[in-house]
Amino acid sequence: MIVVHKGPLLHQRRNNKEHSRMATLTLYHAVPSRSMVARWMLEEVAEPYDIHFLSLAQGENRAADYLAVNPMGKVPALRHGDVVITENAAICTYLADAFPKAGLSVPIGDPRRGIYLKWLFFGPSCIEPAITDRSFPRKEEPRRGALGYGDFETTMNVVAKGVSAGRYLMGEQFTAADVVIGSGLRWGMMFKLIPERAEFAAYVGRLNEREALKRADAKDKALMPAPAPA
Ligand SMILES: N[C@@H](CCC(=O)N[C@@H](CS)C(=O)NCC(=O)O)C(=O)O
Rounded to whole angstroms, the Cα distance separating 191 from 186 reads 9
Q: Is the CB of 90 under 6 A from ligand 1?
A: no
Ligand 1 centroid to Cα of residue 190, in Å, is 18
Contacts of 17 (CB under 8 A, 6+ apart): none
Q: What is the pLDDT of residues 169-193, one digit of tens each?
A: 999 999 999 999 999 999 999 999 9
Supply the pLDDT for residue 141: 87
Ligand 1 centroid to Cα of residue 127, in Å, is 15
Q: Is the CB of 76 under 6 A from ligand 1?
A: yes
Q: Tell me if 41 sits within 8 A of 97, measured CB to CB.
A: no
Atom of ligand 1 nearest to the CA of 30: 9
pLDDT value at 203 more than 50 = yes
User: Reduced to 3 states, what is the DSSP secondary structure of residue 28?
Assistant: strand
Supply the pLDDT for residue 5: 31
Rounded to whole angstroms, the Cα distance separating 25 from 28 reads 10
**Residue with CA at minimum distance from ligand 1 atom 13:** 74
Q: What is the pLDDT of residues 4-34, one digit of tens each?
A: 233 333 334 445 565 555 679 999 999 999 9
Q: Is the CB of 124 under 6 A from ligand 1?
A: yes
**Residue with CA at minimum distance from ligand 1 atom 18:** 87
Ligand 1 centroid to Cα of residue 166, in Å, is 31
Contacts of 136 (CB under 8 A, 6+ apart): none
Rounded to whole angstroms, the Cα distance separating 122 from 128 reads 9
Contacts of 56 (CB under 8 A, 6+ apart): 30, 33, 75
Task: Give mean pLDDT, residues 80-100.
Answer: 98
DSSP output for 123-180: IIIIIHHHHHHHHS--SSPPPGGGSTT--HHHHHHHHHHHHHSSSBTBBTB--HHHHH
Global pTM? 0.91
**pLDDT category of residue 1 using cuts at 50, 70 and 90:** very low
**pLDDT category of residue 86 using cuts at 50, 70 and 90:** very high
Q: What is the pLDDT of residues 99-158, one digit of tens each?
A: 999 999 999 999 999 999 999 999 999 999 999 999 999 999 899 999 999 999 999 999
Supply the pLDDT for residue 227: 78
Supply the pLDDT for residue 22: 66
Supply the pLDDT for residue 219: 98
Q: What is the pLDDT of residues 66-80, one digit of tens each?
A: 999 999 999 999 999
Supply the pLDDT for residue 206: 98
